[in-house]
């Protein structure tokens, strides 16, 4: 089972040929993050993934449940999905001409107990884009920037914001599939 409603995470698993059922973990992430104020961005990503997998795993004790979360860390700040165009613009201006880190965490649980976890890290450097480009990007119509931490979707026009990307593409999308596949093979959930 996948403890997520993310279309991108579902597509990654589908495309990898993994049979699964997706279920909404119904986790109040804002409340959970507020309780972790002293945690690093990486620790928050790991804890949120674990909360999601454990919660669903307690309900479906015989299933392997995959929880996933992604947190953007930048200069001791944690970025969330922007709630508005103005918030997206503010985030992108902060990230402009600088490098930030995306932490993409996975937690697998059975019967409410975490049996495996992993966190991938990707470093992304935004270029020094012009105000005109930023307005054009935000006016583009897709509004994908509202559904992604940092205000961009790399797999869409958000790629034009960047100069340099270091890290696993799938981790940047929010599901580091290669480490997950390795775990599933070793545990004989899928063929090796």
For 12, the token pair is 């990654």
Confirm if 102 and 72 have CB atoms less than 8 A apart.
yes
Share in percent of the chain as helix, strand, coil (round to 5): 40, 25, 35
116-132 burial by CB neighbour count: b if 16+ within 10 A, else e?
A: bbbbbbbebebeebeee
DSSP 100-141: EEEEEEEEEEETTEEEEEEEEEEEEEE----HHHHHHHHHSS
List, by residue number, the catalytic residues. Answer: 69
Q: How far is CA 23 from CA 44, 89, 90, 159, 167, in A?
A: 21, 32, 32, 29, 28
């Amino acid at each position: 089972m996948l403890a997520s409603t993310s279309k991108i995470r579902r597509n990654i698993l589908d495309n990898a040929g993994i049979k699964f059922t997706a279920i909404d973990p119904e986790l109040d992430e804002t409340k959970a993050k507020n309780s972790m104020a002293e945690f690093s961005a990486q620790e928050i990503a790991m804890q949120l993934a674990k909360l999601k997998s454990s919660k669903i795993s307690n309900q479906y004790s015989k299933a392997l449940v995959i929880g996933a979360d992604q947190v953007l860390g930048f200069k001791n700040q944690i970025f969330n999905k922007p709630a508005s165009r103005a918030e997206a613009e503010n985030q992108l201006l902060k990230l402009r001409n600088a490098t930030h880190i995306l932490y993409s965490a996975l937690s697998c649980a059975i019967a409410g107990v975490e049996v495996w976890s992993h966190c991938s890290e990707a470093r992304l450097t935004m270029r020094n884009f012009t105000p005109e480009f930023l307005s054009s990007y935000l006016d583009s119509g897709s509004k994908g920037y509202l559904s992604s931490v940092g205000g961009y979707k790399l797999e869409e026009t958000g790629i034009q914001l960047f100069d340099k990307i270091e890290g696993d593409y799938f981790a940047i999308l929010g599901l580091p599939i290669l480490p997950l596949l390795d775990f599933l093979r070793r545990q004989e959930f899928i063929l090796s």
